[in-house]
Amino acid sequence: MSWRRSREGWRLTWRNHEFERGSPVHLPEPTCGAMLTYYCPSCWSELREDLAECPNCGFDVAAYKQAPYEEKLLRAAFHPIPSIRAMAISILGRIGSAQAVPILERIVREEKQDIYVLLEAVQALARIEDPAGENMLLAATQHPFPVVQRRAKELVEWRRHRTG
């Protein structure tokens, strides 16, 4: 079975002769990304992949595709899919992104549900050399979630040994 584009639209062909005799089967255009969901990197509404601009907020998606990797990561720190968020946060920590610090601070202060994202944010703060980030890491040792507190305390120790 294969798809072929014709003037009439997309055609499904299967063992060619079966459809050549009769009229072609018209189906809506197949979208290979139908199983994947794309989001606007600004307002996070669902988006068709081929759009150059977000219909909801007007964000220039086409220009965004050319944006530096770090900028994409900074936005992905608020991605609606938690595993993507966590991954973006982790990479920001590994590349030592100073620009990520205010975002990480915000996550540590405001995130109330996703422990995994919180732990990644605390870990990233520990990796980035930045005084504000260091203060936030210290503040996280008093975080309302004990698991975050514990991780922050370990990371404060880890930093001390690493720099001392």
| Contact positions vs Zn ion (CB under 5 A) | 40, 42-43, 54, 56-57, 59
Between CA 55 and CA 32 the distance in angstroms is 21
Q: Which is nearer to Zn ion, 43 or 63 (CB)?
A: 43
Q: Which is nearer to Zn ion, 60 or 129 (CB)?
A: 60
| 156 CB-side CA count, 13 A | 15
Identify whether the C-beta of residue 133 lies closer than 8 Å to the C-beta of residue 153. no
| DSSP 8-state code for residue 5 | E
Q: Which is nearer to Zn ion, 57 or 98 (CB)?
A: 57
Q: Which is nearer to Zn ion, 54 or 89 (CB)?
A: 54
CB of 158 to Zn ion, least distance (A): 38
CB of 60 to Zn ion, least distance (A): 10
27 three-class SS: coil
CA 59, chain centre distance (Å): 16
10 membership: H or E segment, kind and range: strand 9-13
Q: Tell me which amino acid residue 133 is.
A: G
CB of 71 to Zn ion, least distance (A): 16
CB of 67 to Zn ion, least distance (A): 15
Between CA 5 and CA 27 the distance in angstroms is 11
Q: Which is nearer to Zn ion, 57 or 67 (CB)?
A: 57
Between CA 145 and CA 121 the distance in angstroms is 14
CB of 68 to Zn ion, least distance (A): 20
